[in-house]
Structure 1
């Protein structure tokens, strides 16, 4: 699988570290139930899914990659950090 890095171009997925679903937000406070859900209960959808990838053997940027989990086709890859305000 080739991942299109915004800085390095299309690179082999072995240059990246997969970190999973890009959507969950770590819960605050002392709610053990919410923390359990955050750590262990994840969706496993078929179709388009947004994931976090770290380009460890390249530019060392975090990317948000939209990938089809059935076909592995990548439709979008962008920096995970927000774009600076103009």
Structure 2
């Protein structure tokens, strides 16, 4: 289990969050279909740190960007994306 430091709620268990995607898999609306397909389905799977997008589903419902190591699962940094929607 990972402990994720939510900028709005403090440290919370991974089970409260939903993994959305890695930052480099975000497709732009004006991308050509070939570019969008390559971005979504033909990406490399490198070792090391990567930026990921998560949502605090069972908490503030805010979006977060985590910088996480793929091998050790250690969270290097967390930052809020947008505003939280508190219940």
Q: Per the shorter chain, which TM-score range?
A: 0.7 to 0.9
* Structure 2 unaligned blocks of 5 or more: none
Q: What is the deviation of 1:26?
A: 1.6
Matching residue of 1:73: 74
What TM-score, normalized to structure 1? 0.83
Matching residue of 1:49: 50
Q: What is the deviation of 1:67?
A: 0.5
C-alpha distance in 2 between matches for 1:75 and 1:4: 11
Per-residue CA deviation, residues 33-77 of structure 1 (Å, 9 max, x unaligned), is 112112212231211111000000001000000111100110111
C-alpha distance in 1 between matches for 2:24 and 2:82: 13
What TM-score, normalized to structure 2? 0.82
**Native 8 Å contact 2:25 2:40 kept in 1:** no
Matching residue of 1:8: 9
CA RMSD of superposed structures (Å): 1.7
Stretches (4+) displaced over 6 A: none
Would the alpha carbon gap of residues 24 and 39 (structure 1) be closer, same or farther in structure 2, given more than 3 Å must change? closer
Please say if 1:61 is aligned against 2:62: yes
C-alpha distance in 2 between matches for 1:25 and 1:46: 19
Q: How many residues align?
A: 81
